[in-house]
């Protein structure tokens, strides 16, 4: 059990540390933000507290020192400097190292720890360096009080107040309306009101212009006492008594509240002696008190309400406590198993649908099959959704990378991000980390120039790396853009020729030139730096992205920068697709790219005289006859269908024998034997047990474009080898 807790501590500590890193980096940008300082302090405090609780004394005592520093910052005694952030980040790394050492049983470099602590101590103003802070001076106290007040106002603690509001009788004559005051109070939080009508006289004696009421209120609010007093700010002549009866700290809570007798004593309606006297009897206390004539019913009602109100508020708070535990941690493997099972289920369901179609007369079976289909569809969406994570966590890791690397290389680079909330399958995000690191390292090392070079080029000193994520159909587009020097076309070309990737005089398009950077071992860096230039990098990126069934595009303009766009499918498990047939073989196309399907008769084909073009309404759409591209035997039927897809803003058709319909495709790998096959990205199993291939239509299009280039003599065959 203890191990479980320790494991939970470690996991949480990791999250806290990641959070801490983000806060620190943000603090560096806006050093004045006291909210961030508070957050950092709290994070440190949490790590310290839970560390000590689970026996990580080294972490606790180390963190204590850092926490002390941030307490000073919070009190305004210490300014946020780059040095402080540096040291704090180093401290954060030390905590992580200690955490990891405790897992592996290794030792931590105590020297490094001390360095960090010493550094932090040097930052502290004189007199604060000791472990024990000296007795606080006057202004320190004032600061402390201001801070406490501040916490009250913005604080989140719920407290319950007992308020008695007795308006001055002539209040109504002045045009004040007690009801609006009460309404204002009710807006502050959960409010229970009792109107006291005891003072109302009989009709003959009643002065209609005077207020004869007074009110007892029990209010649970997080706004603080001042907010309550503010409500009555203009009612100086009224009597207002206000007391905190439950400060929300959760202490001495048993879920209930005080006994009625205690409440009445506290409210001053009864004395302790009277209560004690009555307690000897057996009836409900409140009833007894009224019967005994020492307590009017008007005093009993608010006291009873107070009892109900406060116990209600406490119960609610306990429920909220349970609610925060309504998200649970589940090992990732369990989710993977679940998703695999759902994948199997989808395949079986396809078979069921097929069987149901065969026995169409059996309406019951068809109904059940449809019901199952709907449920499995929902189950699949939910199961996949569980594995979805926002990519933001990955983004924030890069902030640190950029900060450290740019400092190491003497460059001034800022990382901006967009779309951190974009969600991707967890397995995809994990596999994206390394390629993104490679690309960003390249941006920093090769892309962005030194401040001197930038100034000479008429650019601002600091460079920017912009990381953005955005949904696009069943994919996410990740763009890594820098405003650096851009790719050097000639250098890449020369290197490609040197490495015999292209022929001496080959004329290549920009796209093809940029594609060269993904060749294995390709690097134009004149010297190998510690960061990059060894030529292991972009080919690894390409491999990783291919493995994710993603694509890479490079755009670059000299002097203006480079943008690398990765198109990554949302999930590696199941996709919506369109099932088509060519001859006896069936293929699936990703539905997200499909725009429409159009019939094409042989007559229409003949009319084009060998051109693979199609007129769709007012536009001309080129199409690729898949039967011919795949060199499949047999002849096509009289009436074929063209599936029109949108690929990178181009509309392009794919000619197939016929379109069968939508299909939920559980993606299966074809294994290493078919790894290098262009045009096919995987396989899936159909309802009848046969295998259909998943077409990579972007690769097919690329292949066709290249072939056209060949046949037009733009490229000689040697160039491609």
Binding mask 374-413 for other proteins (x = CB under 8 A): ----------------------------------------
141, 669, 708, 716: which one contacts other proteins (CB under 8 A)?
669
691, 708, 716, 718: which one contacts other proteins (CB under 8 A)?
691
Q: Candidates 142-150, 432-440, 516-524, 616-624 — which segment interacts with other proteins by CB under 8 A?
A: 516-524
| Helices 82-104/57-74 angle, 10° precision | 160
Q: Candidates 68-76, 370-378, 452-460, 513-521 — which segment interacts with other proteins by CB under 8 A?
A: 513-521
Q: Candidates 143-151, 211-219, 400-408, 689-697 — which segment interacts with other proteins by CB under 8 A?
A: 689-697
Question: CA 488, CA 129: separation in Å to the nearest integer?
Answer: 53
In whole angstroms, how close is the CB of 583 to other proteins at the nearest point?
10
- Region of 468 (left: φ > 0; alpha: ψ -120 to 50; beta: rest) is beta
Binding mask 312-351 for other proteins (x = CB under 8 A): --------------------------------x--x----
Query: Could you say whether residue 505 binds other proteins (CB under 8 A)?
Result: no
Query: Could you say whether residue 435 binds other proteins (CB under 8 A)?
Result: no
In whole angstroms, how close is the CB of 653 to other proteins at the nearest point?
18
The candidate with the shortest Cα–Cα distance to 402, out of 37, 41, 89, is: 89
In whole angstroms, how close is the CB of 717 to other proteins at the nearest point?
7
Contact 539, 518 (CB under 8 A): yes
Q: Candidates 111-119, 176-184, 601-609, 675-683 — which segment interacts with other proteins by CB under 8 A?
A: 675-683
In whole angstroms, how close is the CB of 631 to other proteins at the nearest point?
7
690, 708, 716, 718: which one contacts other proteins (CB under 8 A)?
690
Nearer CB in complex with other proteins: 443/501: 501
Instruction: State the number of binding residues for other proteins (CB under 8 A).
Output: 41
How far apart, in Å, are the Cα atoms of 86 and each of 48, 61, 123, 282, 451? 20, 20, 12, 70, 21
DSSP conformation class of 485: S
Question: CA 243, CA 267: separation in Å to the nearest integer?
Answer: 10
State whether residue 157 is helix, strand or coil.
coil
Residue 9 in tokens: 């501590």
169, 312, 687, 703: which one contacts other proteins (CB under 8 A)?
703
In whole angstroms, how close is the CB of 319 to other proteins at the nearest point?
45
Query: Could you say whether residue 241 binds other proteins (CB under 8 A)?
Result: no
Nearer CB in complex with other proteins: 286/435: 435
Q: Candidates 214-222, 325-333, 480-488, 691-699 — which segment interacts with other proteins by CB under 8 A?
A: 691-699
DSSP conformation class of 668: B
Nearer CB in complex with other proteins: 113/577: 577
Backbone dihedral angles phi then psi of residue 596, each to the nearest 5 degrees? -160, 165
Question: CA 407, CA 450: separation in Å to the nearest integer?
Answer: 11
The owner of tokens 């949302």 is 570
199, 357, 674, 718: which one contacts other proteins (CB under 8 A)?
674
Q: Cβ atoms within 10 A of the Cβ of 681, count? A: 22
Exposed, middle or buried: residue 29 (CB in 10 Å: 0-12, 13-18, 19+)? exposed
Strand order, beta sheet including 613-616: 594-601, 639-647, 650-656, 619-625, 613-616
Contact 546, 679 (CB under 8 A): no
Catalogue the long-range contacts made by 175-182 (C-beta closer than 8 Å, 24 or more residues apart). 176/234, 176/235, 178/211, 178/213, 178/215, 181/231, 181/232, 181/235, 182/215, 182/217
83, 207, 237, 678: which one contacts other proteins (CB under 8 A)?
678
167, 537, 590, 679: which one contacts other proteins (CB under 8 A)?
679
Beta-bridge partners for 574: 666
Nearer CB in complex with other proteins: 160/551: 551
Exposed, middle or buried: residue 690 (CB in 10 Å: 0-12, 13-18, 19+)? exposed
54, 518, 623, 654: which one contacts other proteins (CB under 8 A)?
518
In whole angstroms, how close is the CB of 496 to other proteins at the nearest point?
8
Query: Could you say whether residue 523 binds other proteins (CB under 8 A)?
Result: no
Question: CA 565, CA 545: separation in Å to the nearest integer?
Answer: 11
Q: For 281, what's the count of Cα atoms within 13 Å in the CB-facing half-sphere?
A: 13
Question: CA 59, CA 93: separation in Å to the nearest integer?
Answer: 12
In whole angstroms, how close is the CB of 630 to other proteins at the nearest point?
3
Q: Cβ atoms within 10 A of the Cβ of 174, count? A: 11
Q: Candidates 163-171, 358-366, 443-451, 676-684 — which segment interacts with other proteins by CB under 8 A?
A: 676-684
Contact 653, 339 (CB under 8 A): no
In whole angstroms, how close is the CB of 679 to other proteins at the nearest point?
6
In whole angstroms, how close is the CB of 122 to other proteins at the nearest point?
53
Query: Could you say whether residue 693 binds other proteins (CB under 8 A)?
Result: yes
Residue 489 in tokens: 């076309």
Nearer CB in complex with other proteins: 18/680: 680
In whole angstroms, how close is the CB of 519 to other proteins at the nearest point?
5
In whole angstroms, how close is the CB of 94 to other proteins at the nearest point?
38
Nearer CB in complex with other proteins: 568/692: 692
Query: Could you say whether residue 304 binds other proteins (CB under 8 A)?
Result: no
Q: Candidates 48-56, 219-227, 287-295, 684-692 — which segment interacts with other proteins by CB under 8 A?
A: 684-692
Chain positions 605 to 634 lying near other proteins, rule: CB under 8 A, are 629-632
- DSSP annotation string for 488-501: -HHHHHHHHHHTTS
Query: Could you say whether residue 717 binds other proteins (CB under 8 A)?
Result: yes
In whole angstroms, how close is the CB of 9 to other proteins at the nearest point?
38
Query: Could you say whether residue 685 binds other proteins (CB under 8 A)?
Result: yes
Question: CA 120, CA 131: separation in Å to the nearest integer?
Answer: 12
Question: CA 476, CA 431: separation in Å to the nearest integer?
Answer: 14
Measured in residues, the chain has a length of: 721
Question: CA 289, CA 283: separation in Å to the nearest integer?
Answer: 10
Q: Candidates 41-49, 145-153, 320-328, 512-520 — which segment interacts with other proteins by CB under 8 A?
A: 512-520
Residue 697 in tokens: 């239509």
Q: Candidates 231-239, 292-300, 357-365, 686-694 — which segment interacts with other proteins by CB under 8 A?
A: 686-694
106, 134, 671, 713: which one contacts other proteins (CB under 8 A)?
671
Backbone dihedral angles phi then psi of residue 24, each to the nearest 5 degrees? -65, -45
The C-alpha angle with vertex 146 and arms to 141 and 151, in degrees rounded to 5, equals 125
Nearer CB in complex with other proteins: 501/591: 501
Q: For 285, what's the count of Cα atoms within 13 Å in the CB-facing half-sphere?
A: 20
Q: Which residues bind other proteins (CB under 8 A)?
A: 344, 347, 501-502, 512, 515-516, 518-519, 585, 629-632, 668-680, 683, 685, 689-693, 699, 702-703, 706, 717, 720-721
């Amino acid at each position: 059990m203890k191990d479980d807790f320790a494991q939970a501590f470690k996991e949480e500590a990791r999250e806290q540390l990641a959070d801490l890193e983000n806060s620190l980096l943000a603090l560096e940008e806006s050093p004045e933000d006291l909210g961030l300082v508070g957050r950092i302090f709290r994070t440190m405090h949490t790590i310290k507290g839970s560390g000590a609780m689970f026996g990580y004394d080294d972490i606790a005592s180390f963190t204590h020192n850092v926490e002390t520093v941030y307490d000073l910052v919070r009190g305004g005694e210490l300014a946020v400097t780059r040095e402080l952030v540096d040291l704090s980040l180093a401290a954060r790394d030390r905590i992580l190292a200690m955490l990891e050492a405790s897992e592996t049983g290794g030792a931590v470099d105590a020297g490094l720890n001390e360095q960090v602590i010493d550094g932090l101590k040097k930052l502290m103003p004189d007199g604060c360096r000791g472990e024990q802070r000296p007795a606080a001076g006057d202004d320190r106290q004032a600061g402390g009080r201001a801070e406490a007040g501040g916490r009250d106002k913005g604080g989140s603690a719920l407290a319950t107040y007992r308020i008695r509001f007795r308006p001055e009788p002539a209040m109504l004559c002045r045009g004040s309306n007690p009801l609006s005051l009460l309404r204002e109070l009710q807006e502050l939080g959960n409010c229970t009101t009792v109107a006291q009508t005891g003072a109302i006289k009989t009709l003959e004696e009643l002065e209609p212009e005077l207020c004869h009421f007074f009110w007892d209120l029990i209010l649970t609010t997080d706004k603080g006492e001042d907010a309550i007093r503010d409500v009555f700010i203009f009612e100086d002549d009224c009597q207002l008594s206000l007391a905190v009866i439950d400060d929300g700290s959760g202490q001495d809570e048993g879920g209930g509240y005080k006994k009625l007798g205690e409440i009445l004593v506290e409210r001053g309606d009864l004395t302790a002696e009277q209560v004690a006297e009555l307690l000897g009897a057996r009836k409900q206390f409140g009833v007894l008190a009224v019967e005994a004539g020492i307590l009017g019913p008007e005093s009993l009602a608010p006291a009873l309400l107070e009892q109900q109100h406060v116990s209600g508020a406490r119960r609610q708070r306990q429920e909220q406590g349970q609610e925060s535990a309504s998200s649970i941690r589940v090992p990732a493997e369990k989710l993977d198993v679940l998703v695999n099972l759902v994948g199997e289920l989808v395949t079986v369901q396809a078979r069921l649908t097929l069987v149901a179609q065969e026995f169409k007369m059996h309406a019951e079976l068809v109904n059940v099959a449809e019901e199952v289909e709907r449920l499995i569809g929902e189950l699949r969406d939910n199961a996949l959704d569980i594995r979805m994570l926002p990519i933001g966590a990955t983004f924030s890791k890069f902030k640190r990378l950029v900060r450290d690397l740019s400092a190491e290389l003497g460059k001034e680079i800022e990382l901006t991000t967009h779309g951190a909330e974009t969600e991707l399958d967890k397995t995809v995000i994990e596999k994206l980390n390394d390629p993104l690191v490679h690309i960003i390292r390249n941006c920093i090392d090769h892309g962005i120039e030194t401040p001197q070079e930038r100034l000479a080029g008429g650019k601002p000193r600091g460079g920017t790396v912009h990381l953005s994520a955005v949904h696009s159909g069943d994919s996410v587009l990740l763009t890594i853009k820098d405003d650096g020097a851009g790719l050097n076309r000639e250098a890449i070309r020369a290197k490609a020729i040197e490495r015999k990737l292209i022929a001496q005089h080959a004329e290549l398009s920009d796209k093809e030139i940029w594609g060269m950077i993904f060749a294995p071992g390709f690097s134009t860096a004149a010297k190998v730096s510690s960061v990059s230039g060894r030529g292991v990098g972009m080919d690894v990126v390409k491999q990783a992205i291919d493995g994710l069934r993603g694509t890479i595009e490079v755009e670059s303009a000299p002097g203006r920068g480079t943008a690398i766009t990765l198109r990554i499918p949302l999930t590696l498990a199941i996709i919506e697709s369109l099932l088509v047939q060519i001859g006896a073989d069936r293929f699936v196309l990703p539905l997200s790219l499909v725009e429409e399907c159009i019939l094409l008769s042989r007559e229409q084909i003949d009319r084009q005289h060998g051109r693979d073009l199609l007129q769709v309404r007012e536009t001309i759409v080129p199409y690729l006859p898949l039967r011919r591209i795949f060199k499949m035997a047999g002849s096509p039927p009289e009436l074929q269908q063209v599936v029109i897809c949108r690929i990178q803003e181009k509309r392009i058709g794919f000619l197939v024998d016929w379109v069968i319909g939508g299909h939920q495709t559980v993606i299966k790998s074809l294994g290493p034997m078919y790894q290098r096959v262009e045009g096919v990205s995987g396989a899936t199993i159909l309802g009848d047990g046969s295998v259909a291939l998943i077409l990579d239509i972007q690769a097919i299009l690329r292949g066709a474009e290249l072939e056209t280039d060949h046949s037009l003599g733009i490229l000689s065959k040697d160039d491609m080898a």
